[in-house]
Copies of this chain bind each other. A is one copy, B any other.
Amino acid sequence: MDNNKQTKGRQRIDTSKRRESEEDRLITFSKRRSGLYKKGSELCTLCGTQLAILIFSPSGKPFSFAHPNIEVIARRVLETNPRSDDQDSNGVMDACRRNSIDELNEQLTLLSNEVEYEKERGTKLAQTTKARQNKPLCEQKIDELGGYDAQKLKAWLLELQARINNRLEELSVAQATRPSAVGAIDGNASSSSYGHWGIHFKNFN
């Protein structure tokens, strides 16, 4: 079994179940994440779309890949909806119901139950960490944050970085091929690139 073929080549794996070994998971994650980014970037170039991919590794590290304008929209949403979201979404329900988007109604009805659930859950969480009560996450000192929140903050900042650097890339590369640029932030310090995309940063830690 070693003279005929040099390797076993790609083996089939069951994509419907989690990889057993931690190591395998990590390797697969790394390889496939790259693949996903590549696919994403190709989709962007080929079709001129905007794209954002967010991944959290098994160990909780945030990874992201994005083609600019997605986050512009995200920001816009963010700007206009200070804390819309769940938390009483009735206004939304009404607005939507009144406006021809009929199918949304059912979904939103289901929503209210979920909202209740989330509300309660949120309250509980809030009670466990007093200091958090009145300060937005972004204004707290890192030390005050539990590991979980810190992680989320990191994620957010990573996103922010991506956004900013996308903008920069846009400005510098600018008018060239097309007004396009993609920034990718990785939890790891790898730095391959895909086509004309591929701005990579190193991990925080």
Do A154 and B104 touch across chains, with their CB atoms under 8 A apart?
yes
Interface residue SS majority, chain A:
helix
B-chain residues with CB within 8 Å of residue A178 when the two chains form the complex: 18
Do B82 and A79 touch across chains, with their CB atoms under 8 A apart?
yes
Nearest neighbor of A166 in chain B, beta-carbon distance: B86
The 0/1 profile, CB within 8 Å of B marked 1, for residues 18-55 of chain A is 11000001101100110110011011011111111111
- A140 and B83 CA atoms in complex are apart in Å by 15
Copies of the protein in its oligomer: 2
Interface residues, chain A, with chain B CB atoms under 8 Å away = 13, 15-19, 25-26, 28-29, 32-33, 35-36, 39-40, 42-43, 45-58, 69-70, 73, 75-87, 89, 91-96, 98-105, 107-108, 110-111, 114, 117-118, 122, 132, 136-143, 149-150, 152-157, 159-161, 163-168, 177-178, 195-196, 201-205
